[in-house]
Structure 1
Amino acid sequence: MLFAILCTDKPGHLQLRMDTRPTHLAFLTGLGDALKFAGPFLGDDEKPNGSLVVIDAETLDAAKATAAEDPYAKAGLFESVDVKRWTWAIKNPDAA
């Protein structure tokens, strides 16, 4: 099952994001095929201020556990994290 992990950074925490980015990217890479896609949300200033990560997980609890293991989450970057079941309906490469 696919889950969207929607994260909003705490205001004023851009430096924490940048400092933690290498371990965050290594974590995402380590998810292997479970990671479908990911990237930052951008503010009006074009700087990252949140994240969208879509993963394949067995359950909502498993997806939430993965989100909690993200180095960004562990570093306290996020003001909020929402994990939702998601269906890739349009342009899903796995459905081709």
Structure 2
Amino acid sequence: MLFAVLCKDKPDHIHIRMENRPRHLEWLDGLNEQGTLKIAGPFLDEQEKPCGSMLLIEAKDQASAEAIAAEDPYGKAGLFEKVDVKPYKWLYNNPGV
């Protein structure tokens, strides 16, 4: 089952994002190697600076998806103001279908 992980950064926390970016990318690389990660990237503000993240992951259920999301180094560093994990159905342009 697919889940969208929607993360909103805390205001004025770009320094936390940049300090933890290498660990975050390493974590994403691991999820990608496992086949868990389907899509990932930052949301951008008006100045085209990162202000949040969106991941599309595969997990067996809601609890598993939330556990995966909780391992994000950005979240562990206190970057996020809010994280939502929602079941997602990929209808169009899904390369797996």
Instruction: Please tell me the TM-score bracket, short chain as reference.
Output: over 0.9
How far apart, CA to CA, are the structure 2 residues paired with 1:30 and 1:13?
A: 25
Match for 1:21: what amino acid? R
Q: Which residue of 2 aligns with 1:49?
A: 51
Identity %: 57
Runs of 4+ in 1 over 4 A off after TM superposition: none
Q: Which residue of 1 aligns with 2:67?
A: 65
Match for 1:26: what amino acid? E
Gaps of 5+ in 1: none
SS at match of 1:85: strand
How much is the aligned-residue C-alpha RMSD, in angstroms? 0.5
Match for 1:19: what amino acid? E
Gaps of 5+ in 2: none
Aligned length: 95
Match for 2:6: what amino acid? L
TM-score (norm. length: structure 1): 0.97
TM-score (norm. length: structure 2): 0.96
SS at match of 1:52: strand
